[in-house]
Amino acid sequence: MSKSLTKRKDGSYVLKHKTTKAKKGVCKECGQNPKNRELGLRYRHNSEDNLSVQEYIENHLREYKKHKSVTPVWCGTCNALIEYFVEVDIDKTLGFYKKAD
């Protein structure tokens, strides 16, 4: 049986994300549900997730030399990772042009 199915009392099966249990615990700020970790959610308070985020940032900065910094953006309510903010070095991206005298 698939892990994404839930059996109802009447014997029928329903997808987990369509049940009322899946709707409980949804963060009002970002819409993430910590009970449904199948989506690969990352949380600030989880040490494994925090290490994974740090590894991603380190690999990203090594791969993309033109990026100055990467900042993870966390939800203020549930501490779920929402997105990454990347600061790009404009001098390296557009090229550095000296002023003409």
- 12/10 Cα distance (integer angstroms): 6
DSSP 8-state code for residue 64? -
- 80/75 Cα distance (integer angstroms): 5
Torsion angle of alpha carbons 9, 15, 18, 21, nearest 10°? 50
pLDDT in tens, the chain (101 residues): 457 777 777 777 777 666 666 566 777 777 777 676 555 678 888 888 889 999 999 999 999 988 899 999 988 888 888 889 999 887 776 655 555 54
Nearest C-alpha neighbor of 35 from the set 25, 44, 43, 27: 25
